A and B are shown apart, each in its own frame.
Chain A
Amino acid sequence: MTDYALEIEHIPTVGNGEGLLKVRTGEFRAALAEPSLCALLSAELVGFSCTGEAEYTLHGQPYFPRSPRAALKKGVAVVTPEGALAGDLSLTDHIRLLPGMLCGKKKAREKAEALCAAYGFSADWTAPAGALSAGDRYRGEILLALLRNSEILVLCQPEAALTLLELEQLSAGLRKACQQGKTVLLLTCRTGAAALADAYDALSPEPDDTPPGRLDIAVGSVVLEARNLTGNGLKDVSFEARTGEILAIAGLPGSGKQALLDILTGTLTPKEGRLRLNGREINDYSVRERVRAGVACMPGTDRDCGFPLESVSVRESMALRRYREPAYQESGFLRKGEMGRYAGDVLTWLNIQPGEETSAENRRRCALTRETDGNFHALAVLDPTKGLGEAAARDIWNRLITLRDERRAVVLLTSDAREALLAGDRVLTLYRGEITGAFDPAVTTEKELGLYMTGRRQGGEERFDEE
């Protein structure tokens, strides 16, 4: 009998370390890994998939759960940023369903409050989970795992739902839980988050925090101007994107980035507010007219970008935004040859081998190239590096910076404070549809930015998340 609560061997790391992860009972340990590896490990730990590569040992016994239920029975609870809470049910309702609660509303509430008092957590017990912020949902799921008496808590990519500061507060509570015999494994791709644990293993190269290099150019004229955008979850959002700068707008999931992108793309009309491109009103422009006028947009998921590659071929995906232009169609008929040639050119240019088009990294690169190839003035991208590894993310950032150096305006909508600071020339924070501050990335820390992403406002110290 070893004193390791959880051992993972033969982790498929990409040439970093021996792929070994050992967590002692009562330890708060972190593992630094690329997002894809985090997702793989959490899926295997929770029992959703089994690739057979990594070998898991739980208290000296082989551990290969066949379902999430089996994993929970063995005392392993996994929390992921995607979440599993039901939208209409409150946290109390979820707690009532835990084993031993017998559905008692009062009992559930009491136990939950006792737990919160013990670990210093707080939560909204009665609001429907759908109305909570992503961070509150994440914390709620941790509470559920603790109330379930799970011995081992695996937290996957908490940085996707929580800011660094929130994570720090959370880790104090988790440490208390560890002292009472729980074991916590934090799977993260960020050094800052991993360092919060007692110790961490680097399964992937540690990301360095030096900003990617960029030309020192003067900021030019205003290209894209948004004034008082209101509606669809946004409240009076105004910003200006200028040539030669990357304007990063950082907001946690649910803060309104998606609505902002939709408004810029033209798939959503705001209740109020105006959009101007080079001084011209583009409010009434359709999606196609905006593309022609020079607004390029890259949605946040591959599916939205049109890269599922099921019923639409690669070459059609590559021409998705422009297949109505004369270059790709002749009186209604698609010029498939042209499309194929263009797709081939892009793949060659990006140095993508045939058969590798479908990797997450290459899809993103293809999407970005597709949107930015041609004559455009302003580009809006939503979470361009979500789920990508460090090297791929840097590649995307460098591309954005190249565009900026070519004196285009880039709006980078991101949920990642680090990305905003590394790639942005100017950072705005978005919280519940409101702009809460403007920052210079050179003199701002990630923690500070996180504070404003969770409700603090510049010019006033009131916090809005404690309603």
Chain B
Amino acid sequence: MKNKGFRSFGRSLLCLCLGLLLGAAVMIAAAWLTLGENRWETVWREGLLPLFTGGWREGPLALLGRAAPDAVLSLGISLAWQGGIVQVGGAGLHALGAAAAMLCASLAGLPWYACLAVSALAGGLWGSVPGLLKVKLRLREALGTALTAWLAIYVLQAASTMIAWEQPAETDLFIPALAIAGVLALLIWLGVKFTVPGLDLRVLGVSEKTARYAGVDTGKTAFWALCLSGLLGGAAGGLDYLLGGANQLPDLSLALTGPGLHGLAAAALAGGHPLGAVAAAVAVKYLSLGAGTMNGAVFSPEMGEAILALILYCCAAFALGPGKGGRKA
């Protein structure tokens, strides 16, 4: 068991390093095309150095606190992952959660925990749509979650003309956010490992047929897995808003890059392990914060997203995926 854990940790590390290497190549290419002289020095001083050190700028507490939303989102994805279910709609859930929390905070003036609850509810409801379609109509969840995410973001974009965005009243929520992420990670880990529904989920992750022979109600398990993962995704969005991480009503630019991608990258790096997902989310946030401190004139602010996408791509290519990972043919 230990051995297996170490091996998958090593593989994750390898994916991370390979992704970073490819990212560095992209940065060098970008510098080559834009700069005339001092290219290598600029890549190092304006690009790589801030990328690797920028995450510390606000101190460890801020880093961990800011990583909390990503951690919660990747927890949701990991939960579904344990059941062999591909949840790729993180972007939509996150956007819905953020919008719900914003509405609650600005219109109703609810306290932060109530906002968080509402955003989780919104995410849970939206997450159960592909769940329901999967169970009732055998819709494949990979495309179901992706399409529902696009729909959610389109709806919010359409609504953006009607709703004015308000930043949350400045509150220092890093410690509660961190506590929420930590407690959720522990709960999910314990739940998956030590409870009957958790074992149901893991057996479903082996294969649907195995689960049916073992007497697992596969439909119900899959539905609740997607619903809970939606709940966590929504909560992640709410948390992100309350921490001041979202600064406009979600629009389409969040569909392909942004929090959805971060959550998925963290879950993939952790191989679906709930505790690992939190650690991976911190690493992902560290990189994305670091990328934000790069010289924007030379390296586009999107460089961080590109690097994270490359890391996720390496994870996928090295067969770290839910259920049907590296099978042949």
Contact = CB atoms under 8 A, between A and B. Distances in A.
B6 interface: no
Contact of A324 (B205, B207, B209, B215): B215
B264 interface: no
A354 interface: no
A111 interface: no
B210 interface: yes
16 contacts: A267-B213, A287-B214, A288-B215, A299-B213, A303-B206, A304-B210, A306-B210, A306-B214, A308-B206, A312-B203, A316-B199, A320-B214, A323-B196, A324-B196, A332-B196, A334-B195
B207 A303 contact: yes
Interface of B: 1, 82, 194-199, 202-203, 205-207, 209-210, 212-215
B206 A332 contact: no
Given A303-B207, A336-B194, A312 B213 contact: no
A112 interface: no
A291 interface: yes
A310 interface: yes
A349 interface: no
A333 B215 contact: no
A126 B81 CA distance: 42
A287 B213 contact: yes
Which secondary structure characterizes the binding site on chain B? helix
Interface string A170-190: 000000000000000000000
Contacts of A334: 194-196, 198-199
B215 A287 contact: yes
A321 B202 contact: no
A59 B308 CA distance: 54
A333 B196 contact: yes
Given A287-B212, A297-B213, A333 B195 contact: yes
A267 B212 CA distance: 6
B213 A306 contact: yes
Contact of B215 (A286, A316, A329): A286
Interface in A293-315: 297, 299, 303-306, 308, 310-313
Contacts of A304: 207, 209-210, 213
A306 B195 contact: no
Nearest to B198: A334
Interface size classification for chain A: 20 to 34
Interface of A: 265, 267, 286-288, 291, 297, 299, 303-306, 308, 310-313, 316, 320-321, 323-324, 329, 332-334, 336
B277 to A, nearest CB: 15
A268 to B, nearest CB: 9
- Closest CB pairs A-B (n = 4): A287-B215, A288-B215, A267-B212, A320-B214
A323 B199 contact: yes
A329 B214 contact: no
A323 B145 CA distance: 31
B82 A311 contact: yes
A316 B205 CA distance: 14
Contacts of A311: 82, 202, 205-206
Contacts of A265: 213
B206 A310 contact: yes
Contact of B206 (A267, A286, A306, A333): A306
B195 to A, nearest CB: 5
Nearest to A289: B215
A329 B195 CA distance: 8
Contacts of B212: 267, 287
A402 B194 CA distance: 36
A276 to B, nearest CB: 21
- Centre residue among B1, B207, B212 by max chain A CB count within 10 A: B212
A67 to B, nearest CB: 14
Contact of B194 (A267, A303, A306, A333): A333
Contacts of A310: 206
A202 to B, nearest CB: 32
A189 B197 CA distance: 43
A306 B203 CA distance: 8
Given A291-B215, A303-B206, A333-B196, 9 more contacts: A287-B212, A287-B215, A299-B209, A305-B210, A311-B206, A312-B199, A320-B214, A323-B199, A332-B195
B213 A303 contact: no
B203 to A, nearest CB: 6
B202 to A, nearest CB: 5
B214 A321 contact: yes
Contacts of B194: 333-334, 336
A201 B224 CA distance: 57
B196 A329 contact: yes
A312 to B, nearest CB: 6
A77 B209 CA distance: 34
B224 to A, nearest CB: 14
- Centre residue among B197, B198, B206 by max chain A CB count within 10 A: B206
Contacts of B206: 303, 306, 308, 310-312
Contacts of A305: 210, 213
Contacts of A316: 199, 202
A305 B203 CA distance: 11
B4 to A, nearest CB: 9
A285 to B, nearest CB: 11
Contacts of B213: 265, 267, 287, 297, 299, 304-306
Contacts of A313: 1
Nearest to A299: B213
A312 B195 CA distance: 13
A303 B210 contact: yes
Contacts of B209: 267, 299, 303-304
A329 B202 CA distance: 16
Nearest to A306: B210
A63 B301 CA distance: 56
A313 B199 CA distance: 10
A299 B213 CA distance: 8
A312 B202 contact: yes
Contacts of A306: 203, 206, 210, 213-214
Nearest to A323: B199
A288 B196 CA distance: 14
